[in-house]
Chains A and B, each alone.
Chain A
């Protein structure tokens, strides 16, 4: 069987001197018709650049192919070296033979064109269809990607759709021409885990239907298991391992592959929860949250608000000293708002937050998701670390500097970092810096808002280990906000699951993750990708998140809890 795509010794560079700044350094692979190849790697591995080189979109991103061949076999059997092809030829190949979908469904759709126009354009370009024929096809395409009310959605603009819907539109557009090759560049990274499962299911189904080949690019080796036939592992522009799915996942040859497989947090349904901690019966909680509500008025301005977004409603939980309570949920669940309300960054509309502190003035500190955004780029490390101390009325002197240095060493940063600036550190190092800063005031509680989500998996694993060490050494309580079940399993003593602004299930980690009782918790856990599930079918499910916007004066009923085990409670839903 001849290859559909044969890439040999591909080298791609950037900038004035592409040969000196190579990001992809000699990549080779073959792809048979109908086959799915997954390219796995961390940021900077060159996986996306490799894909963008195949359809030569890399030319527009400042990249140049310095050497190598990309031989593509067209439907009529003729071959074409895409690395040498003229732009005019490439325009004919793109969309028609090779389609692509991207990571950010929000920014990847043109904001001033309706969804229908954009899909119809794909049909016009690939099939030469015009006017009504193209729109009719656009409508059928939306049906194909299981978008309800297709006729109505065609007239919508991208900003009116949810992230998952937008990615479906992208897929509908890419598949307009029934391409022979679809390249998917991290298509689910920006999406919630249950939506991710839906998109993965859709891709698998459509691939079978059309019989196209696929290049699936991801940083998440767990996702690969569900869809790929073969796997390519890349590190710093080089392929370190390639082979059939089972071989690579079960018998990794290269150290890096092994490292990736080990570093990626595997979700094991509560079997890998921490065994330390758990003296909660003896101590009083340090933070007690009771019936917390945070609402944002909608339609504000000159007129009185018509209603409010009930971002958080009726949330209760306790946090004991030295324990980790993880709050899990998807975007819009209210988990970050809860964290921010705890620190007073958003005002609470109702409820109480009581903190029983023995140490400082500010016993709760926070570490944010994005280490790039939470460090002022114009201040050096000394000024960054000194800020909490200055705010607490301390002076910057030798004693304080010694404390900074010892904290830096403790979080694994060089002692001489004080005069450096944030941009001189890597993402993981910056997050360590943020952790050190949060510890400057000797807090008792640290709120970690998706604190490891922006990091590469291997970095993520090390930061998680650091957090667990620090928790033991300093006797910290963590409120760990995350969307990632596998990460939560590693660090949490207790877990609270949030959905649509409320906690639906709360309890001991092993119980909640191992024997989930609420239907949403089950759905969330079922959606977690894992290297253990090969070619698993996800069923399509179009359940919508209920609207958080409630009319003025609306007061939700208080949650009714059912105890299903020692320290394991589930919210009773009115309709099962």
Chain B
């Protein structure tokens, strides 16, 4: 709660949080079918209409309302981003924590496996996975999760290693505290702050990657709308119907910006180093 209040008092954190809330609202409305127009139904009469009171962001080649499609597309992007980051964070935290705690051989093996995954560019790894299981929402989630797992593992391992050296962990050992107690109370609890920041920033990256995949036509499949695909489709029409490019482009950018701003603000709030500097 304290963190939330601090976030709302933070100059850029406030903007970021506002963007996320608005996007979440649009996504929920879109998922409930409460869009101004049907996002899937072609409407030949209203093809390529510029923005107006009726079609706030204009219509596409098939006469579908851009705004309604954006609402559903945002929902789709959020589902992929949140699900993939949840999986990646869960797996990455476990791997990083155990690598740091067990050390030596296990640390070596786990982190080398992570290095192997890191040696593939994100999009390429995603492409491989998509080639194996075929495109679609679950595939995008799995692909992005696999790409970000090693990143989370590294993010957790470093601080976990230094926490392991701290006096309070030594003290816990002198009491004979169980490994589970030390891992959960002394390591994980102290990692909550940096992980909150990391999760927020990872959501921004996940949105970016999802948009990239769907731009290549490898995300959610037509006719269901996705932001990346809408942009890709706008290419040949950009001279005649620039709104088809401008609004999805802005929508992607703002969404990512929202998470980046929030993540940065959280870092300011939660990072003990910046706290000390301002104190």
A and B touch in the complex (CB under 8 A): yes
Q: Which residues of A approach B to under 8 Å, CB–CB?
A: 62, 340, 343-345, 361-362, 364-366, 368-370, 373-379, 383, 387-388, 390-392, 434, 437, 441
- Contact A387–B174 (Cβ < 8 Å): no
Partner of B171, one of A366, A378, A441: A366
- Contact B170–A387 (Cβ < 8 Å): no
- Contact A365–B174 (Cβ < 8 Å): yes
Assess whether B47 is interfacial by the CB under 8 Å rule: no
- Give the interface SS of chain A, mostly helix, strand, loop or mixed: loop
- Give the interface SS of chain B, mostly helix, strand, loop or mixed: helix
A392 and B189 contact, Cβ closer than 8 Å, known pairs A368-B167, A374-B168, A375-B168: no
Residue of B nearest to A367 (CB): B171
- Contact B172–A373 (Cβ < 8 Å): no
Assess whether B181 is interfacial by the CB under 8 Å rule: yes
- List of A residues within 8 angstroms of B277 by Cβ: 62
Residues of chain B in range 136-180 having any CB-CB distance to chain A below 8 Å = 166-168, 170-178
21 A-B residue pairs with Cβ-Cβ distance under 8 Å, sorted by A, are: A343-B173, A344-B174, A345-B173, A361-B176, A365-B175, A366-B174, A368-B170, A369-B167, A374-B167, A374-B168, A374-B171, A376-B168, A376-B189, A377-B190, A378-B192, A379-B189, A387-B175, A387-B181, A388-B175, A437-B171, A441-B175
A391 and B177 contact, Cβ closer than 8 Å, known pairs A374-B171, A376-B168: yes
- Contact A343–B174 (Cβ < 8 Å): yes
Question: How far apart are B105's CB and chain A's nearest CB, in angstroms?
Answer: 13
Residue of B nearest to A14 (CB): B279
The complex places the Cα of A388 from the Cα of B185 at a distance, in Å, of 13
Question: How far apart are A155's CB and chain B's nearest CB, in angstroms?
Answer: 32
A sample of 12 more A-B contacts (CB under 8 A), given A344-B173, A373-B167, A388-B177, is A340-B170, A362-B174, A368-B167, A370-B167, A374-B168, A374-B170, A379-B185, A388-B175, A390-B181, A391-B181, A434-B171, A437-B171
Assess whether B14 is interfacial by the CB under 8 Å rule: no
Partner of B166, one of A365, A369, A373: A373
Residue of B nearest to A364 (CB): B174
The complex places the Cα of A434 from the Cα of B172 at a distance, in Å, of 12
The complex places the Cα of A387 from the Cα of B186 at a distance, in Å, of 11
- List of B residues within 8 angstroms of A62 by Cβ: 277
Residue of B nearest to A370 (CB): B167
The complex places the Cα of A387 from the Cα of B177 at a distance, in Å, of 7
- Contact A362–B167 (Cβ < 8 Å): no
Residue of B nearest to A377 (CB): B190
List 4 tightest A-B contacts by C-beta distance, closest first.
Answer: A374-B167, A388-B175, A373-B167, A391-B177
- Contact B166–A387 (Cβ < 8 Å): no
The complex places the Cα of A368 from the Cα of B174 at a distance, in Å, of 11
B176, B190, B277 pick with most chain A CB within 10 angstroms: B176
The complex places the Cα of A575 from the Cα of B18 at a distance, in Å, of 76
Partner of B189, one of A343, A369, A378, A434: A378
- List of A residues within 8 angstroms of B177 by Cβ: 387-388, 390-391
The complex places the Cα of A361 from the Cα of B175 at a distance, in Å, of 10
The complex places the Cα of A364 from the Cα of B176 at a distance, in Å, of 11
Question: How far apart are B189's CB and chain A's nearest CB, in angstroms?
Answer: 4
Residue of A nearest to B173 (CB): A345
The complex places the Cα of A392 from the Cα of B174 at a distance, in Å, of 11
A362, A368, A376, A390 pick with most chain B CB within 10 angstroms: A376
- List of B residues within 8 angstroms of A368 by Cβ: 167, 170-171
Residue of A nearest to B187 (CB): A376
- Contact A362–B168 (Cβ < 8 Å): no
Question: How far apart are B174's CB and chain A's nearest CB, in angstroms?
Answer: 5
The complex places the Cα of A365 from the Cα of B170 at a distance, in Å, of 11
